[in-house]
Amino acid sequence: MYRSPSLSSLRLFVQVARIGSFSEAGRRMNITQPALSRTIRALEDNLGVRLFDRGAHRITLSPQGEALLGVAERLTGEFDAAFGELASVFAGHGGRLVVGAVPAMAAGVAAQALAGFTRSHPQVDIVLRDADASLLYQDLRERHIDLAIAPPIEDGETLFEPLFDDPLVAIVPAGSREDTGTPASWSLLARHPYIAIGRRSHVRTMVEQGLAQAGVEVRPRYECSQLATAAQLIERGMGITVLPLSTMALLPPGSVGKRPLVEPRLTRSIGIVQMATRPLSAAGRAFVAHVRAALAPQQVPSAA
């Protein structure tokens, strides 16, 4: 009765077929000739055919053996290639990595880190997704991303490794009388039309906390979900807003100015976020190490 051969028996068959000698094939593969002969006979019994014509001094492939050789070489070759690729993934040199980042980080830290990581790990297929922090945490839980560069959210399901602090600053029209670069109190927002960003965003929550702590009541004149819209309003002198310092990189150069906000001085912590119960792949761990190393020589962002 026909039975599918094992991969190990096919490997031995290929070696014997290539070398043309049981004794020499056994020597090269560090297996005794009797054991090798038994394996080949068992293979012939499983397939129900004779694979070799055995002569006094040399063996040759039978027609059935010739047919099997091509199949066996292809199967063992594909197996070795597949596990070679898997070993590369296990070592962090291959595979797929999906990184999420809040918009300012996606355009800054994450983009820079991904560029460097791609050069050092060209076999890793990397995808970058930008979204608000709440959406990134949802994507983590639903396995749409492997890790995120974002502020922390206390949810009991994730691990947060801080990288740097990102202070909140007032964003004002460039060249205006408010564009002094000096520290300002939160009452600054009450003296100008206030542009609120992202109703459900983590930054919006922080701004509301800062206003409450400062005892300042401000009603938004405008609400924007896109930084580009807010930047256009500010550039035209239609209002001011509060954003993390890192978002300055996303605004048109020379269009706006910034002022540190004090009493209170609020910062958001930015770091690596991953699921507590889902270890990172080797590629993920290598990326995190790359981000740490890339940020090590940099100064922590400062609004001053």
pLDDT at 299: 46
Between CA 55 and CA 58 the distance in angstroms is: 5
pLDDT digits (tens, 9 = 90+) for 31-63: 888 888 888 888 888 888 888 887 766 788 888
Structure tokens at 249: 């990189």
- Checking if the pLDDT of 165 tops 70, the result is yes
Q: Which residues of 128-146 are buried (b: 16+ CB within 10 A; e: fewer)?
A: bbbbbbebbbebbeeeebb
Structure tokens at 57: 């001094």
Q: Are 157 and 109 in contact (CB under 8 A)?
A: no
Between CA 278 and CA 81 the distance in angstroms is: 28
pLDDT at 86: 60
Domains present along the chain, CATH in parentheses = 7-81 (1.10.10.10), 95-162+269-295 (3.40.190.10), 165-267 (3.40.190.10)
- Give the least confident one: 1-5, 146-150, 170-174, 182-186: 1-5
Cα–Cα distances (Å) from 136 to 212, 259, 263, in that order, read 27, 29, 30
Per DSSP, the three-state class of 250 is helix
Cα–Cα distances (Å) from 55 to 17, 27, 37, 58, in that order, read 14, 19, 14, 5
The secondary structure of 150-163 as a DSSP string is: E-----SSEEEEEE
pLDDT digits (tens, 9 = 90+) for 184-236: 999 999 999 999 987 777 888 899 999 999 999 999 999 998 888 999 999 99
pLDDT at 110: 83
Characterize the bridge pairing of strands 147-150 and 256-262.
Answer: unpaired
Per DSSP, the three-state class of 199 is coil
Q: Are 221 and 193 in contact (CB under 8 A)?
A: yes
Per DSSP, the three-state class of 108 is coil
Between CA 304 and CA 300 the distance in angstroms is: 11
The single residue listed with the structure tokens 């290539």 is 18
Average pLDDT, the chain: 86
pLDDT at 27: 84
Q: In degrees rounded to 5, what are phi and psi of residue 240?
A: -135, 165
Whether the full predicted model's pTM is greater than 0.85, yes or no, is: no
Characterize the bridge pairing of strands 95-101 and 147-150.
Answer: parallel
Confidence of residue 297 (pLDDT cuts 50, 70, 90): low
